[in-house]
Amino acid sequence: MPPLGLDVRDVLDILLVTFLVYQGYLLVSGTRAVNVVRGILVFAAVWVAAQLLNLTTLSYLLGRAGTVGIFALIVLFQPELRAVLERVGRPRGRDTGASGAALQDLARAMERLAERKTGALIAIERRTPLGEYAATGVSLDALVSVPFLEALFARNAPLHDGGVIIQGSRVIAAGCLFPLQSSDGTYRRYGTRHRAAIGLSELTDAVVLVVSEERGSMRVALQGRLGPDLTGAELREHLRTLVYDPAGYRPPDARTADETPDAAESHSTEGRA
Ligand SMILES: Nc1ncnc2c1ncn2[C@@H]1O[C@H](COP(=O)(O)OP(=O)(O)OP(=O)(O)O)[C@@H](O)[C@H]1O
């Protein structure tokens, strides 16, 4: 008999469960499902305590509520469950390694749109799949480029209304409807473009960029919050940290002159599509 009565199969079992729990955590972290998971854990803890203390009526009621609750959760979180399955089934390695070129083009396009006071709304997918929001618009598959983004948001362009969704270095949809932020007061004074950015960032871990048509400002919405007005350099730092190179991020003063965002800006964008 091995020590502790564990054999290879038990160890494999534990490792697989640990892996699945960790993957489950990665899938829900940064989404509204986190609060639900917390609620379920509290519920389960009370139920276990009721069983241990032999509180028969309470454990009976919680047991019944739990059974009904599972079905209620499936109905309530149908879009999220679909998104999780979509993510699990998505083939890996297809252009998800976003490039520095996409970062520069995206930032440059934002600057040009802001300079011309052309309103824009761009969501960049991170861990939470944005397929359900992409499905509300027109499906595309094009490399991120300055001219392409400018053309999409140009005032009379057919897809200028709504948001664009970017996956890695590709634009996957335009003219998409994002969920509006619940009008809880904090952001009530903002228009619908900004509230759509906050709303999407509240429900997913996407980084959502907004250019204001009124003010010509660039801002980022993340985790249900709208950040301050950004300069081009600040926007590049945000994109680098949050999306394009989280592991390799170094603060600006740790880089050499050649690596600074402005130096990198010389990357040519014209003609890419
Ligand atoms: N739910 C939504 N999802 C995606 N885009 C939306 C949504 N609601 C509004 N928009 C976009 O926002 C535009 C309207 O912006 P509005 O002027 O109301 O917002 P704003 O936050 O004041 O922005 P701005 O400062 O650019 O005027 C619409 O034409 C549309 O393109």
* ipTM computed for the complex: 0.95
- 190 in ligand 1 pocket by Cβ < 6 Å? yes
Assigned token pair, 267: 């990357």
Assigned token pair, 204: 């997913």
Measured CA to CA, the distance from residue 115 to residue 136 in angstroms comes to 29
User: pTM for the complete prediction?
Assistant: 0.67
235 touches 218 (CB < 8 A): yes
pLDDT in tens, 10-65: 889 999 999 888 877 776 665 667 777 888 889 889 999 999 999 999 989 988 88
Is pLDDT at 273 greater than 80 in this prediction?
Answer: no
Residue 193 CA to ligand 1 center (angstroms) comes to 3
Considering only CA atoms, which residue is closest to atom 15 of ligand 1?
A: 193
Choose the most confident range, by mean pLDDT, from 106-110, 154-158, 236-240.
Answer: 106-110
- 119 in ligand 1 pocket by Cβ < 6 Å? yes
Q: Which residue has the tokens 């976003």?
A: 98
* Rounded mean pLDDT, 88-94: 56
Looking at residue 151, its pLDDT comes to 96
Residue 211 CA to ligand 1 center (angstroms) comes to 10
pLDDT in tens, 60-84: 998 888 888 888 888 877 766 776 6
- 137 in ligand 1 pocket by Cβ < 6 Å? no
Is pLDDT at 150 greater than 90 in this prediction?
Answer: yes
Percent of the chain with pLDDT over 90: 43
- 193 in ligand 1 pocket by Cβ < 6 Å? yes
Query: Buried b / exposed e across 218-234, counting CB within 10 Å, b at 16+?
Result: bbbbbebebeeebebeb
Is pLDDT at 260 greater than 90 in this prediction?
Answer: no
- 210 in ligand 1 pocket by Cβ < 6 Å? no
